[in-house]
Amino acid sequence: MCSRCNYREILERAGLEATAGRLRVLEVVGSHPAPLSAAEIHRTVSRTGSLDRVTVYRILDRLVAKGILEELSLGGRGRLFGMAPSEQHPAHPHFRCARCGAVQCLPPGGVRVDLAGVRRVFAGEIRRVEVRAEGLCVNCLRRP
Amino acid sequence: MCSRCNYREILERAGLEATAGRLRVLEVVGSHPAPLSAAEIHRTVSRTGSLDRVTVYRILDRLVAKGILEELSLGGRGRLFGMAPSEQHPAHPHFRCARCGAVQCLPPGGVRVDLAGVRRVFAGEIRRVEVRAEGLCVNCLRRP
DNA sequence: GCCTGGATGCAACATTGTTGCAAAACGTGA
DNA sequence: TCACGTTTTGCAACAATGTTGCATCCAGGC
């Protein structure tokens, strides 16, 4: 579990009951070094007791809607979930290996995105920018 | 259909037979102003004759493997497909409206990504970078 | 205790993508 | 043209992922 985060407090500040299920989901996502799929979260949470698959989906939807978790689309099937950017968890890009599918977090601040050119011609409102890199991870580079 | 592209030639240069199905899929993707899901492509192609859903998936996989199409993950369910970056179709970021889910292409060149910081500490090989913006589109801004 | 609202569990369904196999289409050499 | 092997397509079945409806449970307020 991420030692810097008080999950109970995070939930209550968002106006959500700090139920056992939500706490367990948050601990799993917050302590894992890379974003997880709903299925992985469900599998991991199930090791410490039962929690329905549907309930996990509903918890994830709720936490994303409240801005506690962030939903990423990293290619491959389905979405991945990670902690939303905050002081404890700074925003960072993600990398996905095209060969083995493994997903890693890249260092925060390592990417600079300059959107000035887009904002001049795009009339909508941009709230979030996600940077996703793809290529070959170290393991796959070593065994070709 | 994109007037600048000769799809038959593109296919043959990639070593693929220029079958009717592949040409129809390419025309649908190439002429649409935004990336499409496999289901949308299948629906559109089906208006001009029959082509099995599985065949559409296989054609898409093949065209992505050959670098003719590009696979994007824009949130929402499933993948989207667009023309791969080329002289005729320059690389560009995409925008997805968080409210209505509509996906638009942003102008090419409007985003500058500086990966130097990442390459210094990341041992894998980065081949492609995808930038995805999220927010509210013009329509959803107008009717809140 | 009783009522109410939110959270959970369960079954069923919907969507998206994949696999195996047979039939059809295509290219090639005789 | 015909036979042959290869590639592409269609079909059925399956697998993975996500959603919906409804019943149940539980905590808090009366």
Residues of B with CB under 8 A from a CB of A: 71, 73-79, 93, 95, 97-98, 104, 106-107, 109-115, 117-118, 120-138, 140-141
Quote the pLDDT of residue A144.
Answer: 65
Residue nearest to nucleotide C25 (CA to C1'): B19
Quote the pLDDT of residue B28.
Answer: 97
Cα separations in angstroms, B126 against A96, A101, B6, B122:
9, 14, 30, 9
Report the gap between the CA of B80 and the closest CA in chain A (Å): 10
**φ, ψ (nearest 5 deg) of residue A61:** -60, -45
Quote the pLDDT of residue A112.
Answer: 79
**φ, ψ (nearest 5 deg) of residue B42:** -60, -45
| pLDDT tens for each residue of A35-84 | 999 999 999 999 999 999 999 999 999 999 999 999 998 877 789 999 99
Helices (H) and strands (E) in chain A, counts: 6, 7
Residue A110 in this model has a pLDDT that exceeds 80: no
| Interface mutation target, options A131, A136, A139, A142, chain B, most CBs of B under 10 Å | A131
Residue A1 in this model has a pLDDT that exceeds 60: no
* Dihedral sign computed on CA atoms, order A136, A138, A139, A142: positive
Report the gap between the CA of B134 and the closest CA in chain A (Å): 5
Alpha-carbon gap, residue A39 to A44, rounded angstroms? 9
pTM of the model: 0.92
Q: Is A53 helix (H, G, I), strand (E, B) or coil?
A: helix
Nucleotide with the nearest C1' to B52 CA: D10
Quote the pLDDT of residue B3.
Answer: 65
